[in-house]
Every structure is written in C-alpha cells, then in structure tokens.
Amino acid sequence: MTSPSERGRRLLRVGNCSGFYGDRASAMADMARAGGIDVLTGDYLAEVTMLILGKARAKDGTKGFATTFLQHLDAALEHLVANRIRLVVNAGGLNPAGLATATRELIARHGHDLRVSHIEGDDVFGSLDGLRQAGHCLPHLTSGQPLSDWPHQPLTANAYLGGFGITRALHEGADVVVTGRVTDASLVVGPAAWWWDWTPDDHDALAGAVAAGHVIECGPQATGGNFSGFCSVPDLVEPGFPIAEIAADGSSVITKNPGTGGVVTQDTVTAQLLYEIGEPAYLNPDVTAHLDTATLTDVGEDRVRISGVRGSVPASTTKVAITGVGGWTNSAILALTGTDLDAKAALVERFVHRYAEAARGLDAVAVERIGQAQPDPDTQNAGTELLRITVQGTQQAAGRAFSSRVVELALSSYPGLYSLGPPQPGSAFGVYWPALLDQRMLQHAVHHYDGTTEIIAPGNPDGAGGEARPQAAALAPTVPAPRADELVFAPLGEIVHARSGDKGGDANLGVWVRDRAAWDWLRSTLTIDELRRLLPETRALEISRHELPNLGAVNFLVRGLLGTGATSTLRLDSQAKALGEWLRSRSIKVPRSLVGS
C-alpha cells in the first residue's frame, strides 16, 4: 500500500468506484487496474438502501450489508494489492462488523494478509427508547415534531458520522476500511485528513475536502452522467469514474483516467456541487462547508480545480435517518388509445374512487396521465397515453383485491383497454423520518484491525452553535445585465443547465447558466414565484431559494414535493430526478441576445 514516506509530500489522489448500491459492477476492478490513485472509495448507501438492508436484517438477522461489495472486491483485489491502493467503503450498511469479517475471509482466500478495520456507532436503532427517555425527542428535520408523533414502527435508525474515524483507521495502518452510515463526503474527508494530518480545527481544508467528496461521491455523475448537457459528452455509454487530487489546503482537481468515457468540465462539476443540497452552507459532522465560496477553474483537459471553499464549525447535531414500513402499495398501468381520451380516463377515475370508498383500509389513491397522444397518429403507440393508478393502505385492500378489481375492467370499461403487465400482489412501502440528534450522544468507534477499539470525539465537542456564516472570499465578477433587447420565447434549457434530486420528502433543484452573460438575467428572473408559474405542481408548496454567484447558480428546495420520501411517495418520479429537465423544457421570455449563448 502507499508508502508512509509519500504521505503529505504530494497530492492525495482519491478515486470513486460506486455511487449507489447497484452501480457498475466492473468499476472497482477497472479503477484498481488503472492504478495511479492512493485511495479508492465506494458509496453504497442511500435512504432507500437502508430500508432494503433493514428488511434483509429483519429477515435473516445476519447480513444487513451490501453483498455486491464482496463480488466487486473479489474481481479487484489483485489489482488493489499490486497498485498499493487503500480501499474505503460504506458498504457495511447496518452490519459493518459482519462485512469486515467477510472481507477478511475473502482476502485470506486470495492468499493476502491485508489489514481490515471497521467503523461503528452510527446505528442507534437499539437506543431509540433510551434516547427518548433521556429527553432526546429526535425532532423531524423540517417540522420539528418529535419522533413520538410518528405513527410507524422504526426498522432502522442510523446517524450520519464524520470522517475522522476513517482518518484514525488509516493512520493506524488499515488497508481496507468498512463503515456504516458516514456522510457520503466523509469517505473522502477521512483519507484527506489522514494524508495531510488535518485536525478538526482545519475548517477550510476540511470544507474543501467535503466539496471534493460531494463531487465524486456519485461516481460518473461527475463525468457527464445524468448531465443536462449530455449531448456534448463523448462516449457517454460508459463514462469513467472520477478522481479528486486533493492538496494540503483542501483545494482539489477533479479529473478521470485517460481514455475513459465522459468528460470533466466546470458544468459537470457544478452539477454535482448543486446536487441534493439545500442551503449553500452544507452541513457535515466535521465541518460546515460553504459551497457558495467555491471557485471553479479549468486547468487542462478533463481537469477542473475547486478552490476557495470556506469552512466553519459543524453543527452540534447530526442527522439520523430513521426508516420504517408504512403499509402496502400497488399499482396498475392502463393504455388509453385513440379518441375521447379524457372521457376514458374519467371513467377509470370514477371506478377507482368508487373502489376506494367501498374498500376498507385504503389511505391514498393517485391516478396520473402519462404522455400525450398525437393527433392523427401514424402508429398505434403514437396515439396512446398511459394511465397509472396507485393505491396505498393495508395489504388486504391494496394487494390482490385491488389488482383483481382492475382486471375486472377488461370487458366492462372503455374501448381499447389493456394493461401493461399482469396483475401484481403489491409490496410493502417504506417511510422515512429524518431526525436531529446531538453528536455527543453517539459512540463513534473505530475497530482497528489489531482488535483494539478507539472512540472518536464528536465534530462539535462543546455542543455549541456554529460560527457565523463566512462570506464568499472572492465572488465571481458581476456581469452587466444584458441590454433591454427584444424578448422572445425560448425553452429555459437553452439558457441553463439543471440537476435535481431528493432530500427526504423534499426536492432539490439546482439551476445554473450555460454562459456567464446570462447570470444577472437568471438571478433576477428565476424567482420563487416564477418557479411556481413554470412548475404548477409546486404552487402550494413551501420553496426556499439560494444564490451561488461563484457558480452562476440558484438552488431551490421544494418542500414536500415527494410527500414523506422516495420510498412512500405516490409521485411517478419518486426521487425528483427529472424535475430539472421538466423545468428546462418550459418556455420563458428571454432577451434575444441570450438565446443560443
């Protein structure tokens, strides 16, 4: 593995090989084979993943970790050893100790003797009652309601840990570090703090590492994946995975391996900086990173520098992601073809609502039209729309009984009715409660490879509030507003890029200009009221708006768009992945001089 003499004497190179549980199976082996990095990270966890792992743990009582990690490691191990690469992953999920044991066994079967350490302390599921009895009400992140108001039984409860446990594991010689629910960026912050001997007071450096970690945590999203300007990205069929080169001051260069697909540009990096954030003050257990102070600079082909990120004291609390089983859900999709589509859809809606009134145990019903049939269609599909019916409630009401009633429509409803797929029994859906907990209540523990255990102090040991928010060190120069030239209607996507995603039940929507000449127009035009006009489904919802001038961006947080979260929402786009693309498709009045800029 990396020689101790190299540490702190040159840039740290950290790669990523996984952005979620289910990412490209070959990525770990590909990145390890290519070499040229000191640490390889893998992010396997999300709120949905914790629910999946919780169900697995409840079923067999043993696993509860991302089992695909072992397959990835089996293919990559020889390359990791040959290229002296350390591995840091959060694939431990709900059972880091179990995955650490399985990892040691796999390594031994290959004839190697690598040192495997693991991190625990995030799992507070068994402590929930004790915490509440001690006066910790685990208030909801948005509403402030106590957990006792939640009508569901928790299945998992995991606090977000910081990166200094990883730092200590690497410092003591670990070759592989397995964690549970650390923050995604902590997978990079931990190695960076180890490499450069940062302390918890090195706020600016830590904030820079948070920014780098936030950019590479989702794998090929940083190299063109899910990017609104994808038409200009070369070889997007299989984009490469990103690498962050991190300096002693926390600044970094985002890049990728030569010859791999995709591209690294200021826009692909901006897309990730804005992804799934709320306020520009991005909270992590080790530091508050003020992302609106970040400056991006092109420093070569597929090389973008992130610098100037300011940091301040972390919050005294950390987020606890609590999941549970909310009930039963089922759905059916029917085709609407030809003429009288409104009447056909209305007929089905009347049927669904009559069923809902008669059936006991249904809590929610949604009927959605998908697509728009063309007039005078020259193919049957061109003249077809879809009708999606979704129900939630008890298994008795939302299960086979619902599917059977839909099947009964086959000969008794509108002409041309057919379904897309056979009737389904439905499945249990998850619910989510994001809570806050004092960091001092956690037992952040490193279980070193030699059998010793070390406790990590909380990022805010005094429990005091964070510092005043620092101002941007050097805001991007203000571009004069374009002259009052002729206004024309154009799709917003001709002027801006966008990236959207889920934050619990809320939706994050980051929008930034394709050309800096449009920045003053964007900041003055895309207000909350204008967003509501462009996206009517947000009109009744609370929206917060934040400007990031250095990035030419505004970021919106749309409260409650996803209900109680991705696992329980009735919305078709359950993680708001396409919300930004909907916005970009909307037409708006734009100065002619900006169109095509």
Residue 8: which pLDDT band, with cuts at 50, 70 and 90? confident
In three-state secondary structure terms, 549 is helix
Mean pLDDT within 332-355: 96
> According to the model, what pLDDT value does residue 479 have?
45
Query: In which region does residue 249 sit, left (phi positive, over 0), alpha (psi from -120 to 50) or beta (all else)?
Result: alpha
CB count, 10 Å around CB of 94?
25
Residue 482: pLDDT over 60: no
In three-state secondary structure terms, 535 is coil
Residue 281: pLDDT over 50: yes
481 vs 452, residue with greater confidence:
452
CA distances from 474 to 14, 227, 263 (A): 27, 27, 27
pLDDT tens track for 130-177: 999 999 999 999 889 999 999 999 999 999 999 999 999 999 999 999
Percent of the chain with pLDDT over 70: 95
- Length of the chain, in residues: 597
Residue 2: pLDDT over 80: no
pLDDT tens track for 581-597: 999 999 999 998 898 65
Residue 464: pLDDT over 70: no
| 486's tokens | 């002729």
pLDDT tens track for 420-462: 999 999 999 999 999 999 999 999 999 999 999 999 999 877 7
CA distances from 416 to 72, 348, 358, 382 (A): 47, 13, 27, 14
CB count, 10 Å around CB of 583?
24
Amino acid at 546: H
Residue 480: pLDDT over 60: no
In three-state secondary structure terms, 384 is strand
Residue 534: pLDDT over 60: yes
| 372's tokens | 């728009």
Residue 484: pLDDT over 80: no
| 151's tokens | 């009508």
> How far from the centroid of its chain's Cα atoms is residue 586's Cα?
25
| 551's tokens | 């990035």
In three-state secondary structure terms, 542 is coil
Residue 469: pLDDT over 60: no
Mean pLDDT within 80-97: 97
Mean pLDDT within 46-63: 84
pLDDT tens track for 292-320: 999 999 999 999 999 999 999 999 999 99
Nearest to 384 by CA among 373, 376, 371, 368: 373
> According to the model, what pLDDT value does residue 468 have?
42
Strand partners, 42: 89
Amino acid at 69: F
Helical segments of 134-182, H only: 164-171
| 197's tokens | 């001997």
User: For residues 136 and 437, is the Cβ–Cβ distance under 8 A?
Assistant: yes
d(CA 366, CA 353): 10
In three-state secondary structure terms, 315 is coil
Mean pLDDT within 374-381: 96
Residue 6: which pLDDT band, with cuts at 50, 70 and 90? confident
Residue 486: pLDDT over 90: no
Amino acid at 199: T
Q: In what order do the strands lie in the sheet with 310-312?
A: 281-283, 288-290, 310-312
Nearest to 550 by CA among 476, 481, 471, 469: 476
> According to the model, what pLDDT value does residue 47 have?
82
Percent of the chain with pLDDT over 90: 88
Q: What is the mean pLDDT of the chain?
A: 93
